A and B are shown apart, each in its own frame.
Chain A
Amino acid sequence: MSVATQEKAKRPPSLLRAVAGAPRGLRWALLAAALAVTLWLPNGLYPAVAVDILCWALFAVAVDLLLGYTGLLSFGHAAFWGTSAYATGLVAIHAGVPFPVAVLAGALVAAALAAPIGYLAVRRTGIYFAMVTLAFAQMIYYIANNRRGLTGGENGLQSVPRELFGLDLTDAYYFYYAALPVVLLGLWAAWRIVHSPFGRVLVGIRDNPARARALGYPVHRYKLLAFVLSAFIAGLGGGLFAMAHRFVTLDTLHWTTSGKAVVMVVLGGIGTLWGGVLGAALLVRLEDWLSFSGFEAVGLVTGGLFIVVVLVFRRGLWGTAADLLRRRLNR
């Protein structure tokens, strides 16, 4: 990976010099390139895997919103991803609405759930915050497990319909493009939040909560709002995930799901927003590849990669690449 990032920095010096005076132009170019890759993705990958990447990208960005920009490590975000997945599935099964409506409903349920959990959790920071969120996530897990009539218990919700104004979306290839607008909307929302005055206050709170409070900002309320917004975006991802697979299982609420999202953020780079997208793409693709590889220890590879990234690229892959690029531009 280091070769690739170095290449990214080294390869087009002339191009960079040309746009060095206009970083805005460079940004647009990068955005266009990212969009092109996004639109091409299901042609290069198995479409169902591409859809998974979209869902997890939203989840990772939601976690980064809290971890990178508010300084809160939530270890229970699967609660919102999974709750939204179940809510989306139930809405789709019982109401038969177009899938974006079901996903939106799921995300709203997740946000509603986040309000009371967040209200209690944001009173703590650091490891205690992580533990409180984990505890709530485990509670939701056991509730879903025991309410078999509603959730199907361990067997999960099966045969969730995927519908959009009568269009046939059975094929994952078409579903990718149908789901993309929802994902882009979620990513744009995250970007707007981060680059709004509200987002700047969040960063201020992250860096020095005491000073933010002294300046008159209601710290808890800001954190709570960030928590709810993050849950909403995670919920969008979870709802889409339910739609993508057309079933929901307890796995979506399991604590390892929360862990996976955190790993994605760390791989991509904490506090970089788009790093989460990169981390999601990398991890989903890697797991997909490993399951066909005949290698008997999937965890060993993903775990090993995690250790290497944490040791070598402290700022994550995206963060390191951005650093190199910035240094080159400022030279």
Chain B
Amino acid sequence: MRKRATIVCSVALLLAGCGGGGPQGSSDSKLSGDRIVLGVLNDQSGVYLALSGTNSVKAVQMAIADFKAKHGGDAITDDITVETADHQNKPDIANTKAAEMYDRLSVDAILDVPTSSAALKVADVAKEKKKLYFNISGATTDLTGKSCNKYTFHYAYDTYMLANGTGKTVTEQGAKNWYIVYPNYAFGQDMEKSFSAAVTGAGGTIVGKDATPFPNDNFSTFLLKAPTLNPKPDVLGTMQAGGDLVNLVKQYNEFKLREKGVDLSVGLMFLTDIHSLTPAALAGTTYTDAWYWNFDAENRAFADRFLKETGSRPTFAHAANYSAALQYLEAVQAAGTDDADAVVKQLEGKDINDVFLRNGKIRAEDHRVIHDAYLAQVKPAAEVTEDWDYVKILKTIPAAEAFRTPSADCKL
């Protein structure tokens, strides 16, 4: 292989007549055990800025500080840094940046990467470069399904966990009839399928489901249709996210559907979404959360530190970035090397409890990181007494039930 490469190079050089060297930075020689570099690759200028973005970089820095404080002089190295890049939610930029991080910036592990197509591509790069990748904000179950690989771990959440948590639990609590609207693209379609399966599995009925254009700003057709369905749905399940969710919720309130007996359940929502929509607009809405900052004293202590650093409370993505960075560093410490294969061996099958992972376990079969999830409900405005404390946790979904069983499609 090397020989072929040399031939290509010499042909190229012959053509070029230029004395350029080989590919830059492709050698691994710079990587050594006495330096660890973490890379945060996410959206720092677009729609996912608030829910993860630059504040996740700060969360990772907090993890590094905690790791150093814990291990002190025994830490494997003192030299731990964070590199970060904005992939602008474009998979091609994510591809180039991920390769550049691994090759040129000697990044040992990449974290985060929202947008499923970008996440899938970065997983591909990780596999090729044999370096670690902890996906946090990408939602597709393909990362632990047909696109899974040895160097990729899926933290926090996925479409199955969201749908199963909300669909199953809400149905079991008595809301039997569902009307589902979903945006017509991969995320929405996956969510609709998982949701329908979860609802019918729990003894509920899907009385109607409609795909909406994406993006869309007028949902009146679907909202007017909802109360006229027979039987009348108890819940409107929306898989919309971001700007579409904002539009839908506003119109849901304008049509006064809650007063007409149709509750609202949201597939995916972040704390920052509630903050920008205001809790009053969402009061009563149920959704599945991977983590909540005011759940207990430990979370709150972390959130207080985070607030001091960033000026806002952490979403679950921020906490998951913190946890992934910390657990990676712990694994390197335990393995005594940053060699990817050795670190993977350390992580696989490990039971973990930290501020983010409750009853956590890194599954060896598909590298899904499982942990307790929570069914959350947005508080009525009157009950909101503190900024950012917008939801109450209705139920803790145990780790074993929250995520799907390892998929047969995944061959590590």
Q: Which of A109-117, A165-173, A191-199, A316-324 lies on the face that meets chain B? A: A165-173
Q: Per a CB cutoff under 8 Å, which of A48, A152, A298 touches B99?
A: A48
| Residues on A with beta carbons closer than 8 Å to the beta carbon of B17 | 39
Residues 158 to 205 of chain A near chain B (Cβ within 8 Å): 158-159, 166-174, 177-178
| Residues on B with beta carbons closer than 8 Å to the beta carbon of A152 | 186
| Residues on B with beta carbons closer than 8 Å to the beta carbon of A158 | 120-121, 124, 147
Interface size for B (C-beta < 8 A) is 51
| Residues on A with beta carbons closer than 8 Å to the beta carbon of B85 | 291-292
Q: Which of B21-29, B198-206, B299-307 lies on the face that meets chain A? A: B21-29
- Nearest-CB residue, chain B, relative to A251: B90
A311 near B: Cβ within 8 Å?
no
Q: How far is the CB of A211 from chain B (nearest CB, A)?
A: 44
A26 near B: Cβ within 8 Å?
no
- Nearest-CB residue, chain A, relative to B5: A168
Q: How far is the CB of A158 from chain B (nearest CB, A)?
A: 6
Residue pairs across A and B with CB atoms within 8 Å: the count is 137
Residues 267 to 312 of chain A near chain B (Cβ within 8 Å): 287-288, 290-292, 294-299
A6 near B: Cβ within 8 Å?
no
Q: How far is the CB of B27 from chain A (nearest CB, A)?
A: 11
Q: Which of A69-77, A128-136, A219-227, A242-250 lies on the face that meets chain B? A: A242-250
| Residues on B with beta carbons closer than 8 Å to the beta carbon of A171 | 5, 23, 26
Residues 15 to 59 of chain B near chain A (Cβ within 8 Å): 15-18, 20-24, 26, 44-45, 49, 54
Q: How far is the CB of A66 from chain B (nearest CB, A)?
A: 24
A155 near B: Cβ within 8 Å?
yes
Evaluate contact between A296 and B45: CB separation under 8 angstroms: yes
A4 near B: Cβ within 8 Å?
no
Task: State the CA gap A292–B187 with chains docked (Å).
Answer: 28
A125 near B: Cβ within 8 Å?
no
A153 near B: Cβ within 8 Å?
yes
Q: Per a CB cutoff under 8 Å, which of A145, A245, A291 touches B88?
A: A291
| Residues on B with beta carbons closer than 8 Å to the beta carbon of A241 | 92
Residues 69 to 105 of chain B near chain A (Cβ within 8 Å): 84-88, 90-93, 95-97, 99-100, 104
Evaluate contact between B4 and A155: CB separation under 8 angstroms: no
Q: Per a CB cutoff under 8 Å, which of B26, B44, B91 touches A296?
A: B44
Residues 361 to 402 of chain B near chain A (Cβ within 8 Å): none
Evaluate contact between B8 and A249: CB separation under 8 angstroms: no
Evaluate contact between B186 and A48: CB separation under 8 angstroms: no
Evaluate contact between A291 and B93: CB separation under 8 angstroms: yes
| Residues on B with beta carbons closer than 8 Å to the beta carbon of A168 | 1, 4-5, 8
Evaluate contact between A43 and B20: CB separation under 8 angstroms: yes
Task: State the CA gap A292–B24 with chains docked (Å).
Answer: 18
| Residues on B with beta carbons closer than 8 Å to the beta carbon of A174 | 5, 8-9, 12, 23
Q: Per a CB cutoff under 8 Å, which of B8, B21, B86, B90 touches A177?
A: B8
| Residues on A with beta carbons closer than 8 Å to the beta carbon of B15 | 39, 177
Evaluate contact between B117 and A36: CB separation under 8 angstroms: no
Task: State the CA gap A48–B128 with chains docked (Å).
Answer: 15
Evaluate contact between B116 and A155: CB separation under 8 angstroms: yes
| Residues on A with beta carbons closer than 8 Å to the beta carbon of B9 | 174
- Nearest-CB residue, chain B, relative to A177: B12
Evaluate contact between B96 and A49: CB separation under 8 angstroms: yes
| Residues on A with beta carbons closer than 8 Å to the beta carbon of B45 | 295-299
- Nearest-CB residue, chain B, relative to A247: B121
- The DSSP consensus for interface residues of chain A is helix
| Residues on A with beta carbons closer than 8 Å to the beta carbon of B1 | 168
- Nearest-CB residue, chain B, relative to A300: B45
| Residues on B with beta carbons closer than 8 Å to the beta carbon of A155 | 116-117, 120, 140, 142, 186
- Nearest-CB residue, chain A, relative to B3: A168
- Nearest-CB residue, chain A, relative to B16: A39
| Residues on B with beta carbons closer than 8 Å to the beta carbon of A295 | 45
Evaluate contact between A298 and B88: CB separation under 8 angstroms: yes
| Residues on B with beta carbons closer than 8 Å to the beta carbon of A46 | 24, 96, 100, 104
Task: State the CA gap A84–B17 with chains docked (Å).
Answer: 33
| Residues on A with beta carbons closer than 8 Å to the beta carbon of B5 | 168, 171, 174
Task: State the CA gap A312–B135 with chains docked (Å).
Answer: 45
Knowing A47-B24, A173-B22, A291-B97, say if A249 contacts B16 (CB, 8 Å).
no
Evaluate contact between A40 and B16: CB separation under 8 angstroms: yes
B185 near A: Cβ within 8 Å?
yes
| Residues on A with beta carbons closer than 8 Å to the beta carbon of B117 | 154-156, 247, 249-251
Q: How far is the CB of B311 from chain A (nearest CB, A)?
A: 15
Q: How far is the CB of B17 from chain A (nearest CB, A)?
A: 7
B184 near A: Cβ within 8 Å?
yes
Evaluate contact between A153 and B186: CB separation under 8 angstroms: yes
| Residues on B with beta carbons closer than 8 Å to the beta carbon of A299 | 45
Task: State the CA gap A174–B17 with chains docked (Å).
Answer: 15
Task: State the CA gap A171–B9 with chains docked (Å).
Answer: 11
| Residues on A with beta carbons closer than 8 Å to the beta carbon of B187 | 154
B333 near A: Cβ within 8 Å?
no
Task: State the CA gap A179–B355 with chains docked (Å).
Answer: 49
- Nearest-CB residue, chain A, relative to B185: A154
| Residues on B with beta carbons closer than 8 Å to the beta carbon of A43 | 18, 20-21, 24
Interface string of B129-156 (1 = CB under 8 A from A): 0000000000010100001000000000
A2 near B: Cβ within 8 Å?
no
Residues 244 to 260 of chain B near chain A (Cβ within 8 Å): none
A52 near B: Cβ within 8 Å?
yes
Q: How far is the CB of A281 from chain B (nearest CB, A)?
A: 15
A148 near B: Cβ within 8 Å?
yes
B189 near A: Cβ within 8 Å?
yes
Task: State the CA gap A279–B127 with chains docked (Å).
Answer: 34
Interface string of B301-324 (1 = CB under 8 A from A): 000000000000000000000000
Residues 168 to 220 of chain B near chain A (Cβ within 8 Å): 184-187, 189
Task: State the CA gap A168–B4 with chains docked (Å).
Answer: 7
| Residues on A with beta carbons closer than 8 Å to the beta carbon of B97 | 291-292
Binding site for B on A (CB under 8 A): 36, 39-40, 42-43, 46-49, 52, 145-146, 148, 152-156, 158-159, 166-174, 177-178, 241, 245-247, 249-251, 287-288, 290-292, 294-299
6 A–B contact pairs at CB < 8 A?
A43-B21, A52-B92, A52-B96, A167-B8, A173-B23, A287-B88
Binding site for A on B (CB under 8 A): 1, 4-5, 7-9, 11-12, 15-18, 20-24, 26, 44-45, 49, 54, 84-88, 90-93, 95-97, 99-100, 104, 116-117, 120-121, 124, 128, 140, 142, 147, 184-187, 189
Q: List the 8 closest pairs (A to B, CB-CB), nearest first.
A: A173-B23, A154-B186, A43-B20, A177-B12, A39-B16, A153-B186, A291-B86, A154-B185
Known: A153-B185, A167-B4, A173-B26. 4 other contacts (CB 8 A): A155-B142, A168-B4, A168-B5, A296-B45
